[in-house]
Copies of this chain bind each other. A is one copy, B any other.
């Protein structure tokens, strides 16, 4: 029998990690603070629907789960833009066939993974088990049962914290003021988000295009909607906290109604429960967390959102966490048996990539809000579609990040930003009708070489 691994947090990353480690022959204890989500509804108006794409699918494939999970997904071929004028425009994610992202319910996916994990002999799942602290050198942690309040110490060979943006394991790393030199940053956007919904029609059909990620871009304000299997859409509004129509100001039903009538009149017919949703659901923060190191003493490691929480605007949060598992598995192939080497190699390979996607996700917040209505940006997207259709080896920045899982995030960021700079400059100074696409493609290749 191999080592005993204690995993703190049975969200998406922790549960998939548990499955993969169990497949490799380890004994896994998986502790989760919340109750079993199969018997309790815990999302409760807090979910931004997820967009599962290539990097996440690669991790599911590694664990042999891709085919099962894809059944729960709805392909989204592009962004359906809803302009204030009522005009609709589909901006495809890729000019190539078969490149799309997948709308999936966070809760549904998590339950599927929990079911898989529970079926494995060498995984022991404990719910309602709140991690109070980790002994970094001993690889042990103290948990408190949410019901009985009883405290238990669990000892293992290593501890991996996959307990999300508010990680208790990371808190134990941060509390260590000697030796680790623990760098940390948390950085919030001045915008928050709130979940709303678009139900199915009475006969169970989708009220708006099923196979798209819908965006209502309104400068400072933005709403998005992702399809669910039951015909509904999970809607998320992004508003600043401050200012005339900020979340802090929109505090009565008449004010919210007036705001939607002014800015999002085209949503109102589809959202009969808008006002109830608005006041029933909490307003969430949007923050980026970076830190380093991710490991201590070859005994304790953090992974996923615990190590690198990002804003949701590239649809890469879950994909990045799942990709952690792919990278961790590759490092294990090389250094299995020496945890310190595994942990330090993993963090050194991975932190620069998760920093890169964190930055790209913040960029995309501004691009989604403002860029999609900018004429040069629209020209650029159109030109990139043509390039992708005609030159299969051409990838836009979005495609590099989303559909090119063999390129790291940091490489995608560097290459993508260079391309964007060139193309935006080109589009600002040239018409894009009847141009020699091959010449443009050669120019980009030269720019990148």
Binding site for B on A (CB under 8 A): 166, 177-178, 181-190, 241, 285, 287
Closest to A187 in B: B183
Complex A-B: 15 CB contacts under 8 Å: A166-B177, A177-B285, A178-B285, A181-B188, A181-B189, A181-B190, A181-B241, A181-B285, A182-B188, A183-B185, A184-B184, A184-B185, A185-B185, A185-B186, A185-B187
Closest to A288 in B: B183
Q: How many copies of the chain does the oligomer comprise?
A: 2
Q: A187 vs B181: C-alpha distance in the bound complex, in angstroms?
A: 8
- 18 extra A-B contacts, CB within 8 A, seeds A181-B190, A182-B188, A184-B184: A166-B177, A177-B285, A178-B285, A181-B188, A181-B189, A181-B241, A181-B285, A181-B287, A182-B186, A183-B185, A183-B186, A183-B187, A183-B188, A184-B185, A184-B186, A185-B185, A185-B186, A185-B187
The 9 closest A-B pairs by CB, nearest first: A185-B185, A181-B188, A183-B187, A184-B186, A183-B188, A181-B285, A183-B186, A181-B190, A184-B185
Closest to A189 in B: B181
Closest to A185 in B: B185
Which residues of B lie under 8 Å from residue A177 when comparing CB positions? 166, 285
Closest to A188 in B: B181
Q: A190 vs B187: C-alpha distance in the bound complex, in angstroms?
A: 23
Q: A287 vs B178: C-alpha distance in the bound complex, in angstroms?
A: 12
Which residues of B lie under 8 Å from residue A187 when comparing CB positions? 183, 185
Q: A223 vs B92: C-alpha distance in the bound complex, in angstroms?
A: 60
The smallest beta-carbon distance between A295 and chain B, in angstroms, is 15
Q: A48 vs B240: C-alpha distance in the bound complex, in angstroms?
A: 44
The smallest beta-carbon distance between A191 and chain B, in angstroms, is 9
Q: A264 vs B274: C-alpha distance in the bound complex, in angstroms?
A: 72
Q: A244 vs B166: C-alpha distance in the bound complex, in angstroms?
A: 37
Q: A284 vs B100: C-alpha distance in the bound complex, in angstroms?
A: 52
Q: A178 vs B189: C-alpha distance in the bound complex, in angstroms?
A: 13
Which residues of B lie under 8 Å from residue A188 when comparing CB positions? 181-183
Which residues of B lie under 8 Å from residue A185 when comparing CB positions? 183-187
The smallest beta-carbon distance between A246 and chain B, in angstroms, is 12
Which residues of B lie under 8 Å from residue A181 when comparing CB positions? 188-190, 241, 285, 287
